[in-house]
Amino acid sequence: MAITLTTLRSQVRDMSDLDETDLSNAVIDQFAREGFQRIYALERRWPILQETYTFSTVANQREYTISTIGDIREIISIVDTSAQGARLHLIDYNQAEMVWLGNLDVAARPYFYSFWDKKIQLWAKPNIVYPMTVRAFRNPVYTWLDDVSEEIDLDEWFHAILPYFVLARVYQRQEDSDLSNMYMKSFEEGVAFARRDLMKASSAQPVVMSGGRQYPTLQRWLQTLGRTLKNY
């Protein structure tokens, strides 16, 4: 069952048998935030963070600030969705700037992208407007700390577990190590079970290791480019 910060406060007070005088909202909220951050520190790709964004390129513009596309934590893919489009391939910025340099830095349809300084760089820089779709994992939101009626931004697996972390900190604060350790163990075990279930490979298709599928490489693209340039 999904919970809000109001619900979490009530659960913690009921389980600890403490009222608001003995256990303030500020203390509970601080511990809830810490537990929330611990969960997100374990993985960057929790399923609840999956999002799809879109943006359009600008002719002769290579760089696009990621924050203007979305509140993105990690990009999985960028796809040119025009009629002749393709999925762009991630390359290292250092490698890209050695290729698209001087007279070779000609605007064309981009087939590669890189990251630098919180921006996406497209290689080659677009010659016209191309519609792009970005699959990414967003950043977790903290608005539930201000709007106590808002659902906490965690998978429902963790909604039943987060109060255990708060209780562990509450009893640690009261120097009751036995109860603190008990609740912390319950929290850690619950997180481990949830993590195993949420992050396991899908059974819908077999797992393909990186060596089992061939992908276009920058070297292959440069060889093709060389053959094409012979025609000019």
- Distance in angstroms between the alpha carbons of the first and the last residue of the chain: 65
Show the 3-state SS of 111-130. Answer: CEEEEECCEEEEECCCCCCC
Q: What's the rounded Cα separation, in Å, for the pair 69 and 78? A: 12
Written as one letter, the residue type at 169 is R
Lookup result for tokens 């520190």: 41
Q: What b/e readout covers 181-194, taking b as 16+ CB neighbours within 10 angstroms?
A: eebbebbeebbeeb
Alpha helix segments (H runs only) across 88-217:
93-99, 156-159, 162-173, 177-199
pTM (predicted TM-score):
0.81
* pLDDT (0 to 100) of residue 229: 53
CB neighbour class for 36 (10 Å; exposed up to 12, middle 13-18, buried from 19): buried
For each of the chain's 232 residues, which pLDDT tens digit applies? 789 999 999 999 999 999 999 999 999 999 999 999 999 999 999 999 999 999 999 999 999 999 999 999 999 999 999 988 899 999 999 999 999 988 889 999 999 999 999 999 999 999 999 999 999 999 999 999 999 999 999 999 999 999 999 999 999 999 999 999 999 999 999 999 999 999 987 766 666 665 555 555 555 656 665 555 555 4
* pLDDT (0 to 100) of residue 228: 56
3-state secondary structure of 222: helix
* pLDDT (0 to 100) of residue 222: 61
The pair of structure tokens assigned to 141 is 């939101």
* pLDDT (0 to 100) of residue 214: 54
* pLDDT (0 to 100) of residue 198: 93
